Chains A and B, each alone.
Chain A
Amino acid sequence: MIGCLDVDVGFRCADRCLLFAEPLKKKKRIDPAILKQREERKKKRLEKQIRRLERNAKQLKPIDELEVPLELVDGKKERMREAAVITPAVEEERALLTKDWTRYKRKQHLKDMQMIDRLMFAQQKALDELRQESEELYQAAIQINPTLLPFTVRGPVKTPPIKGYDSPDGEYTDVSKKCVVNNHWTGVVNPCLQVYESNCTEEQNM
């Protein structure tokens, strides 16, 4: 009816809600199997996403994309050190030491260059002498040796390796499955038939 605004609003609202709302639908009984399927699908989707994230995490980011981790940015205040007091004497000493170092390094560099020149000269002399001896040998000597590359050397270390050291991390055991094909003879029924059975056995290597 028109003009019933002043009447009890609560009752009217409930009345209106009852009238404007659709009749409540009856809850259908969904098959539990379908429910399970839905849940499994959701699980699989999540797992797939997890795997994708992990795969991306394993690939290294290019250096340009790396950012300062947020923890460091946030905790900058507590991580700052107090400005160290550097006396002018210490500063002077450092400046002098740096200059000494540059001089030392320059001499070292010059010596290295001289050594390289000397080595090259010696080799050139040897090749000239070889050419005088025989052209054939000389040509053989100039050939590039392709077996030399790739050339790997292990660099010098601080202390020599301990003999017979038992690494606490343990030895590496290769646990990979290897397939072995077995032939069986079915003798009884038909001696001409041969049954092939493939067996996958685990072999552990030391």
Chain B
Amino acid sequence: MGRGYTVEESVEKYLTSLSAAAGSCKTGLLIGQCSAQKDFVVLAVKTPHRESEGASDSRRVLGPLDDIDADWVAEHARQVSRMLPGGVNVLGLFLITPPELSKEAQNKLKGLIFAVDKCISKSRLWDLSEDDVTDRVTLHICSKTRKAICKTYDVKDPKCSAKPADWKYLSCISSSWPVLTCSVKVDLQIPVTESSSEKCMKHGLGRWAKQIEAGLCLINGRPASDDSELLSGSKKSTKMSQQALQVQILVTEEDPVQRCSAVVQASSGSVHVRGTVHCRAYIHTNKPRTRHAAQAIKRDVVNTVSNRVEMLLEDLQMNEGGPASEQQDLPRRVFAPLPGSGLTVCDYMFPDETAADVAERLKEMLDWESAEEDIDTSVESPADEGRDDGAAQDVPIESMTEPVKQQKTSQYYAGVAVAAAVALLATATSLLYLNE
């Protein structure tokens, strides 16, 4: 009773061509969507060649399997997962080896799978829910016989053993997957202290992420909290055109701690993140539930903001920071269609970059040539010249309304019917006597 993976035919072609280029071992990522019943793989991407690959020192005799750098594979996986919209994730890894290394391949795959999962979940701001599938798939392909062995590992349990899984190819799996979209306004003010600004940022973003996670989600105007089916009423047909679903997210600002006074902290500065982000998620067509769709889009909201902030801070670190107080544009989200499927992937374009830079990154990370025209940069607006008062405030104070209850009393007019009026009077009088 293992998992069953339904895989795009284009993936088969890709893996075959990779295996044909014989030689040393090759690793790569398998990308798709998991659900309770079925799992879908829509893309395979080989791990890019590491330029500074250590020259094979003759001081150690290592096998080609040991040459595979788990950290490099994991880092690639982390960067690729930033390029995936909501609902689409790195599901596992493939490993192509010559026949003589087939035996050690499984062990290597297991180590890689856990390394990849650890790296991807490091900077995640949301927690896994009970619904989330924690099985990751490994595919070992023998370069000579082209035989593929598919197994899964549960990344929740480091001591687990591999479980067999089904792997079958099908065409046009994702061509009609519905896409959920929304634009989210972000307005966060996070106080930071000099010593732990990163921790403060993470904490501030984490609190916002929890708000989003707990928010009410409307899909095409209907609440998406229960177990109802997302695509009820629509007949399932392979030639069905892709449905676009509009999402709205409503949040409350509840503060469970009962306090008497405001929380005041001394800080050495604050970070203000403001603007609008475009969010997108895909959901499979195998009887999806509204709450899974809601979860996918909410996670995309959180991911896109935290990824961008992370990218900017990484960039600043590399370039020795910048002036202390200033406004910087976070990279803009752009989308590119994934060939042979109904999905898009995304990338983040810094203000000084062009579509050509994006295309280059897509080639490097996802191993495919994309035409510059295909890259959709219109989804988010570019940074504008006119800045309004993002500049320093003297003592920024953040306050939020926490609506606990709002009540309204409405008084009924007794003038509905004459007969009724008399009865009402009688009740009212007796009440009067008894109350005061």
Q: Are A and B a genuine interacting pair, yes or no? A: no
Q: Which residues of B contact A (CB under 8 A)?
A: none
